[in-house]
């Protein structure tokens, strides 16, 4: 059976938020062909159990790898927090030993651990990502002197997926969520969900100019460029061109509209079935 996505660089997210990562990768590495997969039928992942997130993640990543992607970036922070390490250590060597799967939490954590000026870092994310403690472990492992304060923001992903990002209710919700981080006087804020960069202006307004909010998508794209430079054998496996593919597990006109708005141009969403 011929492969559907031969040589394409895979990007996986639980929904459409990972398009922020895909867009940044396209800007930083425009020569490569991307295959984006959003599990829109089963979003959000942020309120799921670790076992279920692991199953969903292996199904999605397995689909991309089986269709010819030599490298997949798990753009979803929840999947990176709850499933990536187990996937890399147990599942990948058995099913696709010649492929690689990367996450987003470690590169972002390394960046903010080096960038924090005052040693107080805030993290906002889904309940599952915050509960996993993945950002705390990674940031503290890089710089033990940094204090990390976390805040779960469970309603933001549904609001964004509904297209409510610019509504005043969403801005108020952001202000309510970050209040504990303001009280902790964090100097750097991690947007620990791929959807949240779409609300970067709202977070910046709520936190004030004293707080540095890096663009996580740009950080991941730069770290990916560095990875490929250090692994030329992997870089040579990725196909060149601009024929990017955008796959979803549930197709609706609303998803297509939002995806086009986030990427800045119209696109065609293709439906796929991940069930074995």
Report, as residue numbers or ranges, the catalytic residues.
76, 193
The reported pLDDT for the residue numbered 261 is: 86
Q: Is the same domain home to 109 and 199?
A: yes
Q: Is the same domain home to 135 and 211?
A: yes
- Of 216, 234, 255, the last residue of a domain is 216
Structural domains in the chain (count):
2
Q: Is the same domain home to 160 and 209?
A: yes
Q: Is the same domain home to 152 and 223?
A: no
- Of 216, 237, 261, the last residue of a domain is 216
- Residue 126 inside a domain? The answer is yes
- Residue 276 inside a domain? The answer is no
Whichever domain contains 179, its CATH number is: 3.40.50.1860
Mean pLDDT by 10 residues, the chain (276 residues): 83 93 96 96 91 97 97 97 97 98 97 95 96 97 97 93 89 97 97 94 96 97 98 96 94 86 87 86
Q: Is the same domain home to 117 and 207?
A: yes
The reported pLDDT for the residue numbered 139 is: 98
- Residue 94 inside a domain? The answer is yes
- Residue 203 inside a domain? The answer is yes
Q: Is the same domain home to 152 and 196?
A: yes
Residue 200 lies in domain:
105-216
One DSSP character per residue, the chain reads ---SSTT-EEEEESSSTTHHHHHHHHHH-TTB-EEEEE-TTS---TTS-HHHHHHHHHHHHHHHHHTT-SEEEE--HHHHHHTHHHIIIIIHHHH-TT-EEE-SHHHHHHHHHHH-SSSEEEEEE-HHHHHHTHHHHHHHHH-TT-EEEEEE-TTHHHHHHTT-TTSHHHHHHHHHHHHHHHHTT-SEEEE-STTGGGGHHHHHHHH-TTSB---HHHHHHHHHHHHHHH-HHHHTTSPBSS--EEEESS--HHHHHHHHHHHTS---EEE-----
- Residue 4 inside a domain? The answer is no
Q: Give this prediction's pTM.
A: 0.94
């Amino acid at each position: 059976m011929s492969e559907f996505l031969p040589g394409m660089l895979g990007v996986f997210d639980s929904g459409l938020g990972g398009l922020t990562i895909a867009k940044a990768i396209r800007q930083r590495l425009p020569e490569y062909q991307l295959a984006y997969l959003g599990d829109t039928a089963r979003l959000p992942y942020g309120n799921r159990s670790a076992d279920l997130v692991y199953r969903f993640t292996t199904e999605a990543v397995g689909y991309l790898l089986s269709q010819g992607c030599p490298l997949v970036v798990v753009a979803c922070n929840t999947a990176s927090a709850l499933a990536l390490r187990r996937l890399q250590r147990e599942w990948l060597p058995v099913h696709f030993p010649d492929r690689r799967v990367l996450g987003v939490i470690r590169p972002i954590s390394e960046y903010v651990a080096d960038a924090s000026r005052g040693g107080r870092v805030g993290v906002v994310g889904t309940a599952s990502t915050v509960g996993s403690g993945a950002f705390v472990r990674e940031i503290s492992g890089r710089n033990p002197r940094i204090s990390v304060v976390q805040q779960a923001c469970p309603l933001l992903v549904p609001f964004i997926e509904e297209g409510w990002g610019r509504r005043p209710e969403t801005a108020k919700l952001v202000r309510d969520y970050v209040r504990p981080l303001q009280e902790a006087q964090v100097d750097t804020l991690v947007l620990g969900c791929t959807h949240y960069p779409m609300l970067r202006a709202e977070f910046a307004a709520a936190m004030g100019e004293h707080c540095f909010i890096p663009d996580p998508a740009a950080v991941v794209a730069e770290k990916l460029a560095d990875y490929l430079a250090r692994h030329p054998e992997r870089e040579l496996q990725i196909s060149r061109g601009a024929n990017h593919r955008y796959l979803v597990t549930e197709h609706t006109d609303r998803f297509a509209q939002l995806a086009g708005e986030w990427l800045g141009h119209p696109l065609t969403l293709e439906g796929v079935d991940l069930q074995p």
